[in-house]
Every structure is written in C-alpha cells, then in structure tokens.
Chains A and B, each alone.
Chain A
C-alpha cells in the first residue's frame, strides 16, 4: 500500500513554462489538498477538493489550478510558472472533510528560474 504519492520528487523549471504536479492516493479518501511550504511561512493551502468533481480555493490559489476527475488523483497545474512559485509542494488527503486527519505525500521540490 503506497498511501499517497507525488511526482516528480523535484523539478527545475524555466519561468513561463507549464507544469503539472501529480498526486495519487490509494486510500479512497474523499478529500484532497495541495499546500506549499516556504521557509518562514509554514504550510499554506493552495486548493482543496472535498470529493471527486468538486474543488475549492485555499489561502494562496493565484497562479494554480486543480482538477478532481476521480477519487484517486488530484493534479496541480502551474499554467505559466514564475520564480515566486519556487517552493516545496505537499499533497494530502483525508477520509472526511469533517475533522479527519490528513495524510501527506513526500512533497515535490520545485524551482522556477
């Protein structure tokens, strides 16, 4: 059982390029989340999805889009990457939007030059 996986592990990207970070979970959790973590700023929620087919904006959604076509996958897309999107990105899932614990993936380290 893998739990929650993210790909790629790390990526260096030229500014202006499009990039999709992948996240897959095999726990059949309803809710999924994307966070970014920057030094000194903690974890900030980018987008979330309470169930397949629905998504919502978090604290810092600008420049990012998500989709939730099925239960298992929750890709995060940067349509035109900018250097300020250099960060570590964590995907998480929980079995319930109401008080359930979140399980985190290993993270993707993204550098935009």
Chain B
C-alpha cells in the first residue's frame, strides 16, 4: 500500500497559482494518482486523476514526473472558494485506499 506525504497546510492569496506536492515513494506499477477536494461538512469531491506525465482539466493540472514518486496538483489563480482540504491518493480504488490527513489550503484576499 503506497503511503503518501503532503504538507499539512498551505496559505495563498487570491489570484495566485497554488502547487501542492505529494510524495509517494513506493507507488506500484498499476497505481493511479488521484486528488480530491473537501469542503467543511461535505464529502470529498474528485478533482483530477493521472498515471504519468501531465493531466489537465477545467479545474486543475496534475504533474507527474517520470519516476512517479511524487505528483503536484496545480490550482491556477485560486479564489476564496478554493479554501478546502486537498487529498492525494495513490492506489487502486477498492484496495484499502489511504486518504491521509490531506493539505489544508487557506486562500485569503
């Protein structure tokens, strides 16, 4: 089971780009990297998923180096509404996924 390490908290100002890096040194060959966002009193919500290189959607980008031992979630031009906890997950859904404690992002004006 791949263990992930990400910063406990990050602060940013509105309009800035935020990059959250997750380390997963023992990622397995078949593992995907998935990021979720969670607002208070709500369940987590899927943001983006990737296997290698770069993935981009309307919300974020995910950068994965060739060795796949880390990944970086990039949020362009954050707003106050991006204040949330962000979780990095590595593995195959259904096999004891570990959400960990996530990164608490605070965006201020």
Interface residues of A (CB under 8 A from B): 31, 33, 35, 40-45, 48, 50, 56, 58-59, 90, 92, 94, 96-107
Contact = CB atoms under 8 A, between A and B. Distances in A.
A102 B93 contact: yes
Helix, strand, loop or mixed for chain B's interface? loop
A94 B32 CA distance: 14
Contacts of A50: 94
A97 B42 CA distance: 23
Nearest 3 A-B pairs (CB), nearest first?
Answer: A104-B43, A97-B94, A43-B99
A111 B51 CA distance: 39
Interface in B33-67: 34, 36, 41-46, 49, 51
Contacts of A59: 96, 98
Contacts of B98: 45, 59
B97 to A, nearest CB: 6
Interface residues of B, number: 24
B87 A104 contact: no
B43 A99 contact: no
23 contacts: A31-B94, A33-B94, A33-B97, A35-B99, A41-B101, A42-B87, A42-B100, A42-B102, A44-B99, A45-B96, A58-B96, A59-B96, A94-B94, A97-B92, A97-B93, A99-B51, A100-B93, A101-B34, A102-B93, A104-B42, A106-B42, A106-B43, A107-B41
B45 to A, nearest CB: 7
A102 B37 CA distance: 12
A43 B87 contact: yes
A50 B45 CA distance: 20
Contacts of B97: 33, 45
A43 B42 contact: no
Nearest to A44: B99
Contacts of A107: 41-43
Nearest to B31: A99
A105 B94 contact: no
Given A31-B94, A96-B93, A101 B101 contact: no
B93 A94 contact: yes
